[in-house]
């Protein structure tokens, strides 16, 4: 997910994460996986996502984008806002 820099630090990403995790629980999904940008890592870390590995996305123009693969087991726990 990306939030426009003009409106960052207003809880938009946190609200999206809470809704995503609640929807996943309602649909009996117990584990979420994501690939975080370096700028988004702190948000996912605050939500309890665990780092699996550092990686990078490679694009056809040969540019690369560093990122981090993460996962979280939801179980029946409550999500928390950052």
Specify the pLDDT at position 3.
87
Specify the pLDDT at position 75.
79
* Per-residue pLDDT at 9 exceeds 90: no
> Above pLDDT 70, what percent of the chain?
91
What residue numbers bound the domain in which 63 lies?
A: 5-73
Q: How far apart are the first and last CA of the chain?
A: 16
Specify the pLDDT at position 15.
95
Tell me the torsion sign for CA atoms 52, 16, 42, 27: negative
Q: If you average pLDDT over residues 7-29, what whole number do you get?
A: 94
Q: If you average pLDDT over residues 64-70, what whole number do you get?
A: 96
Top-confidence residue, 82 or 35: 35
What CATH number is attached to the domain comprising 26? 3.40.630.30
> Above pLDDT 90, what percent of the chain?
79
Residue 82: inside a domain: no
Residue 78: inside a domain: no
The beta-strand segments (E) located in 6-74 are: 31-37, 50-58, 64-73
């Amino acid at each position: 997910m990306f939030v426009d820099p003009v409106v960052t630090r207003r809880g938009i990403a946190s609200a999206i994460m809470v809704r995503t995790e609640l929807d996943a629980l309602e649909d009996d999904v117990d584990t979420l996986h994501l690939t975080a940008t370096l700028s988004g890592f702190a948000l996912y870390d605050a939500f309890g996502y665990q780092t699996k590995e550092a990686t990078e996305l490679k694009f056809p123009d040969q540019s690369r984008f560093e990122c981090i693969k993460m996962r979280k087991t939801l179980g029946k726990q409550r999500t928390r806002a950052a």
